[in-house]
Structure 1
Amino acid sequence: MKKALLTLSALALCMAAGVATAKEYKELRFGVDPSYAPFESKAADGSLVGFDIDLGNAICAELKVKCKWVESDFDGMIPGLKANKFDGVISSMTVTPAREKAIDFSSELFSGPTAYVFKKGSGLSEDVASLKGKTVGYEQGTIQEAYAKAVLDKAGVKTQAYQNQDQVYSD
């Protein structure tokens, strides 16, 4: 799984500020990277769907505000939040010390593993030594990028950065 924890910066802000302050908002703008099904993706009609979308819509319904979804590549989430392009991020994100210095996080909503994805019958394994000479892709701005640079590159594994998860899977 690409990202292990769900960030809900807007929810944390609303909870910290209280419902009275939250009611001053007429609209909450959430940053989302719609390339990470089943958490957030696009349906055939182009609408946003998934767990994160349902959660954000439920937050907005509870606060009686309109949800506005602002699509962004994952590596643009924190810069976009800091630049006020959106009020919060709902796009599964792992809490790291560096990220905690930049933004606030809600409580952990779920935890899941990170894993390699191989073609069936490829004979590849998760053993880093077995990947030497192969190419492993990752989405920019994720914890998998940090792992690729810290572990895979040093082990002689070729790594390839992609702007979003759809590109990782399509290559």
Structure 2
Amino acid sequence: MEKEQIILLEELFTRYFSHLVLYSGKLVGSREPAEDIVQDVFLHLFETKRLKYATSSFLFTCVKNASLNYINLSKKRTIPLSSTQEAIPEKDIQEEIAHMQQLERLDAAIESLPAKCKEIFKQVYLQGQRYEDVASQFGISYHTVKAHMTTAFQHLRKHLLVLLFLLRNVKFARK
């Protein structure tokens, strides 16, 4: 049972830690305490054997509550916080959860690509390399890279309807 808990902790930590730290950081205003808060949440869930109930919304709620507790304790010791840090709309939590779920679906779809196709897709689209550079790196022709990219996009379109919107947002954010 303990080993299953440790494996589950590692999986949840790997999957959600960075998203939860970003969320908590927005609430508390700093990354360092946000990392501590998220680690404490995972530790508490592990110690109380509640990891098996840890969905993304459950984790975000736990981190929200722990962040608010941190803010309240900080208020007692320091100067007052801004009003934006005191009132956290539920809408923000839902948007973060929805965004995280979209990214998870995108990641799962990319991981389901054939191995060579996945490698080429990641090099070209996620790392921004040119087709020519990837072709020489893999020792294949430009047209083979282009064919792999076409296959990747066809595969991803089948798995995700929102893929085009996500990829456009990612691509425009890089420019």
- State the TM-score, normalized to the length of structure 1: 0.28
Which structure is higher in helix share? 2
Bigger relative contact order, structure 1 or 2, given CA contacts below 8 A and separation 6+? 1
The structure carrying a bigger strand percent of its residues is 1
